[in-house]
């Protein structure tokens, strides 16, 4: 893959260090977690589900760890994007069903669901793009987690499902995210039958952004991360904030009017003027993240 021309030192560091693994000295390990790996590689925050023995089940413990990591990401001034991935053959099997039996206090059940909802709020509020790299099965709350990401790159062998109904537990909260990501007819098919859909079906429906062969997944994901890292950070943050806000507006003309105001403010940014000037001068922009 031909490397693009990068804009400034922070962006170059971001791209170089992204290519290194979690064990690399270039990655700053952030706190110690039991069920996830969490590192900052010059603004690329890597969040990796790391409990393959439980099929990366979203137990209360894992949900708490994810909640802590995304709270840190949302508060970080240097974050450029988030890469969400997993280890093992399953992206995530959803909630740990052993925590939801009658032998476990109802207060614990409620805490599992409320913590998951609180995590979803952090994902919604994340000021930078969240990119999911999916290789394997994303089921129930695991599929919900995928649906909440901004960009999803999946291997062609990945599968997506909401199988709770098969066990008598309707995937109500996963359905909130899924029904807002894909057409209702397909969401209904997944939720009422519990049957999985393929990566290609998920791509056509809009649940994922790109589908590639498993051996190309890392390269394709890297391409997405690199492209984001090339952009002006203030512009990316401004753009995501308005994109999330305007999609909730019922009146399309109201969205357009607010979009006008946002674009006027966008023009006041240093990087925007640099980009426009570089276009006139037929050169690459030198963004300073101002």
3-state SS track over the chain: CCCCCCCCHHHHHHHHHHCCCCCCCCCEECCCCCCEEEEEECCEEEEEECCHHHCCCCCHHHHHHHHHHHHHHHHCCCCCEEEEEECCCEEECCCCHHHHCCCCCHHHHHHHHHHHHHHHHHHHHCCCCEEEEECCEEECHHHHHHHCCCEEEEECCCEEECHHHHHCCCCHHHHHHHCCCCCHHHHHHHHHHCCCEEHHHHHHHCCCCEEECHHHHHHHHHHHHHHHHHCCHHHHHHHHHHHHHHCCCCCHHHHHHHHHHHHHHHCCCHHHHHHHHHHHCCCCCCCCCC
Region 202-226: mean pLDDT is 98
Residue 10 has pLDDT above 80, yes or no: no
* Least reliable range by pLDDT among 3-12, 66-75, 185-194: 3-12
pLDDT at position 23 is 45
pLDDT at position 6 is 41
If pLDDT is split at 50, 70 and 90, which confidence band does 290 have? Answer: confident
What average pLDDT does the chain have?
Answer: 92
Percent of the chain past pLDDT 70, that is, above it, reads: 89
Domain boundaries, the chain: 24-230, 233-281
pTM of the model: 0.90
For domain 233-281, say whether CATH 1.10.150 is its number. Answer: no
Residue 4 has pLDDT above 60, yes or no: no
Residue 19 has pLDDT above 90, yes or no: no
Percent of the chain past pLDDT 90, that is, above it, reads: 88
* Least reliable range by pLDDT among 18-22, 233-237, 248-252, 259-263: 18-22
Residue 49 has pLDDT above 80, yes or no: yes
Give residue-wise pLDDT tens across range 111-170. Answer: 999 999 999 999 999 999 999 999 999 999 999 999 999 999 999 999 999 999 999 999
Residue 46 has pLDDT above 60, yes or no: yes
- In CATH terms, 24-230 corresponds, of 3.90.226.10, 3.40.50.300, 1.10.10.10, 3.10.450.750, to 3.90.226.10
Nearest CA to 285 out of 223, 226, 230 is that of 230
If pLDDT is split at 50, 70 and 90, which confidence band does 32 have? Answer: confident
pLDDT at position 27 is 60
The phi-psi region of residue 178 (left if phi > 0; otherwise alpha if psi is between -120 and 50; otherwise beta) is: alpha
Residue 22 has pLDDT above 60, yes or no: no
């Amino acid at each position: 893959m031909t490397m693009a021309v990068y804009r400034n030192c922070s962006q170059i560091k971001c791209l170089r260090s992204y290519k290194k693994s979690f064990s690399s000295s270039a990655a700053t390990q952030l706190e110690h977690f039991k069920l996830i790996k969490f590192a900052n590689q010059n603004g690329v925050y890597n969040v990796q589900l790391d409990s393959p023995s439980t099929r990366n089940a979203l137990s209360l413990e894992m949900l708490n760890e994810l909640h802590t990591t995304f709270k840190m990401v949302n508060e970080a001034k240097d974050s450029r994007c988030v890469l969400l991935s997993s280890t093992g053959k399953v992206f995530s099997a959803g909630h740990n069903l052993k925590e939801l039996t009658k032998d476990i206090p109802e207060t614990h059940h409620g805490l599992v669901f409320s913590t998951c909802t609180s995590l979803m709020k952090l994902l919604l509020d994340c000021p930078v793009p969240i990119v999911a790299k999916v290789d394997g099965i994303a089921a129930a709350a695991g599929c919900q987690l995928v649906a909440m990401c901004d960009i999803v790159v999946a291997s062609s062998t990945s599968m997506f499902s909401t199988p709770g109904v098969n066990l008598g537990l309707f995937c109500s909260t996963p359905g909130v995210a899924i029904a807002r990501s894909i057409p209702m007819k397909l969401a209904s098919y997944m939720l009422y039958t519990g049957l999985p859909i393929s990566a290609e079906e998920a791509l056509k429906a809009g649940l994922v952004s790109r589908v590639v062969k498993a051996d190309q997944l890392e390269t394709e994901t890297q391409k997405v991360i690199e492209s984001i890292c090339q952009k002006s950070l203030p512009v990316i943050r401004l753009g995501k904030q308005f994109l999330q806000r305007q999609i909730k507006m019922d009146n399309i003309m109201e969205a357009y009017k607010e979009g006008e105001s946002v674009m006027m403010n966008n023009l006041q940014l240093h990087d925007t003027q640099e980009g426009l000037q570089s276009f006139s001068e037929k050169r690459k922009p030198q963004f300073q993240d101002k």
